[in-house]
Amino acid sequence: MSCPCCQTVNPATSARCYQCGTVLIHEAVGFSKEARETAQRLNRKMHTGYGGVIGLILAFLISPMFGGSLGALLPICTGAGALIGRLIAIHKENIL
């Protein structure tokens, strides 16, 4: 199965592209609209989680520059990372 984003050839049983991580489930013939929407929701949630984790790591890395205090920095970085992850997922959906 060829990925619609990066054109990488993946095994027919792959749920995601090995190269870029795009969900391939909805590319199979016969999946209902509900199944495609569920796959898109899952993709958005996964990107949101990835972004949140990256934001959390970023907060710990830059906290020494702010005196080591994670009080307000932790939720700001985690929330910003989650938002960026969600926007990346939405952007990838619009490209397809």
Domain extent, residue 1, equals 1-31
What's the confidence (pLDDT) of residue 96?
A: 58
- pLDDT, residue 81, reads 93
Both 73 and 42 in one domain: the answer is yes
Chunked into runs of 10 residues, the chain (96 residues) has average pLDDT values of 85 84 67 80 92 92 84 90 92 78
DSSP secondary structure of the chain? -B-TTT--B--TT-SB-TTT--B-GGGSTT--HHHHHHHHHHHHHHHHHHHHHHHHHHHHHHGGGGTT--TTHHHHHHHHHHHHHHHHHHHHHHH-
Q: Are residues 46 and 80 in the same domain?
A: yes
Tell me how many domains the chain contains: 2
Residue 36 to residues 24, 32, 41, 47, 53: CA-CA distances in angstroms? Answer: 10, 6, 9, 17, 26
Instruction: Clarify whether residues 10 and 43 are in a common domain.
Output: no
Question: Which pLDDT belongs to residue 49?
Answer: 93
Global pTM value: 0.59
Residues 16 and 44 in one domain: no
Q: Are 86 and 51 in contact (CB under 8 A)?
A: yes
Domain identity same for 24 and 47: no
